[in-house]
Amino acid sequence: MTDLKILYVTTVSNTANAFLIPHVRWLKENGHSIDITFNIDQEIKNELKEVVENIFVSKFNRSPLNIKNFFAYRELRKIIDKGGYDLVHTHTPVASAFVRYSLRKNKMTKVIYTAHGFHFHENSSLLSWFLYYPIEKILSKYTDTIVTINQEDFRLATEKLKAGNVAYIPGVGINIEEIKKNETDTSQKRKELGVPDDAFLVLSIGELNRNKNHKVIIRAISRLNNPKIYYVICGKGGLEPSLKKLIKSLNITENVKILGHRNDVHEILQTSNAFAFPSFREGLPVAIMEAMAHGVPVVCSDIRGNSDLISHNTNGYLVPPKDIGGFMNSIDKIYKNEDGMNDLFSSESKQKIERFSNEVIKEEIINLYKNQK
């Protein structure tokens, strides 16, 4: 295979900063030339600047109908037309839709689309199927390879879409070896968080929005009514005022804390006793993978992506997203640790997560590009 000139496309720069950096580095080490374009909405890490040839701006918005997307499309067309790319690898739904539309008549440039979670799936509404499925089906005809990161999306793409090829790569990879090296003074960290040493600490990580569904855990903690159980949320977002109002109305302000965005989530994970993740929709959540790598028992919603990682009663608990009582009982089981189940969960998770490590994903990404002809 000859070296490729590749354009990476995504909607927001935190996607690039979060997980594309190692992918781009691997490809550069294998002789490929990489440009990237996104809506620069935060500081670009120097790591990214070091591994790409050019960084372009295309101001796509997450909202499909936002007028900015049409101007971004024009910018994208100019980048592609001038770039002479062998391959365009696109991420995030909105940007990916415009990329594939713009290349629909271009037979020279290959297109890879990584779907981080289709909006239509087994548990989604009929409206989601009505709105998103037809678009994905039409655009799949202009896609050489769709990469899916969970088993349900792989089945849907294989059975219902028309891409030239469908590949399954389990996520974006996590640095397990780095996690293993992490050493935290748990007592000091708890003091910093305002959590007693003898407390049972439940942690959630994720943006404060409706999809992440933090309120179900807040209500579960309230129902447990156990002063030994503390709950902390790492994340920020538009629902912060309403979540704080809920916490106050349930009289659990001493035991439930919203910490905002944190750069020390691995340290907080290391001092946690349980990890709660009640989302309505996910692709393949890195937050759960990191909790597994730390050996923290997980209770999460029984949805696509989560169920790729957690097997009920084997390395954690799966609960319907709206089932407050189910989350309450599962947290209580982890708290009581009957029959030493927590050690079993921890051991099983650490073994299973090896399949999702950076090294495994690296080989699959490189093989994906080798197969582009």
**How far is residue 5's CA from residue 32's CA, in Å, rounded to a whole number?**
6
Q: Which of 105, 103, 112, 100 is closest to 144 using CA atoms?
A: 112
- 5-173+357-370 and 176-355, same CATH topology: yes
pLDDT band at 16 (very low <50, low <70, confident <90, very high): low
Who contacts 29 (Cβ-Cβ below 8 Å, separation ≥6)? Answer: none
pLDDT value for 258: 97
pLDDT value for 121: 81
CATH of 5-173+357-370, one of 3.40.640.10, 3.30.1330.80, 3.30.70.1290, 3.40.50.2000: 3.40.50.2000
Superfamily of domain 176-355: Glycogen Phosphorylase B; (3.40.50.2000)
**How far is residue 119's CA from residue 304's CA, in Å, rounded to a whole number?**
11
Average pLDDT (228-256) is 97
Average pLDDT (231-237) is 96
Measured over all CA atoms, what is the biggest interatomic distance in the chain, rounded to whole angstroms? 64
pLDDT value for 1: 45
The helix or strand, by DSSP H or E, that contains position 360, with its residue range, turns out to be helix 358-370
Residue 226 contacts residue 290 (beta carbons within 8 Å): no
Query: What token pair was written down for 373?
Result: 């002809």
pLDDT value for 119: 87
Q: Residue for token digits 């995504």?
A: 10
pLDDT value for 172: 84
pLDDT value for 372: 77
| pTM, to two decimals | 0.89
**Degrees, nearest 5: CA angle 122-299-292:** 100
Q: Residue for token digits 């920020």?
A: 236
Cα-to-chain-centroid distance, residue 135: 22
pLDDT one-digit tens code per residue, 166-195: 999 998 889 998 898 888 899 999 999 999
Instruction: Specify the 3-state DSSP secondary structure of 43.
Output: coil
pLDDT one-digit tens code per residue, 80-132: 999 999 999 998 888 899 999 999 988 889 999 999 889 888 777 888 899 88
Q: Which residue has the higher pLDDT, 310 or 60?
A: 310
Residue 314 has pLDDT above 50, yes or no: yes
Task: Measure CA of the first residue to CA of the last residue in the chain; give whole Å.
Answer: 8
**Degrees, nearest 5: CA angle 56-59-62:** 130
Query: What token pair was written down for 184?
Result: 């935290």
**How far is residue 195's CA from residue 203's CA, in Å, rounded to a whole number?**
12
Q: Which residue has the higher pLDDT, 232 or 121?
A: 232
**How far is residue 57's CA from residue 38's CA, in Å, rounded to a whole number?**
5
Q: Average model confidence (pLDDT) for the chain?
A: 91
Partners of residue 317 on adjacent β-strands:
299
Residue 53 has pLDDT above 80, yes or no: yes
Query: What are the backbone dihedrals phi and psi of residue 230, each rounded to the nearest 5 degrees, phi first?
Result: -115, 150
**Degrees, nearest 5: CA angle 2-7-12:** 150
68-83 and 93-102 are packed helices; what angle lies between their axes, rounded to 10 degrees? 50
Q: Which of 28, 140, 48, 29 is closest to 90 using CA atoms?
A: 140
So where are the chain's domains?
5-173+357-370, 176-355
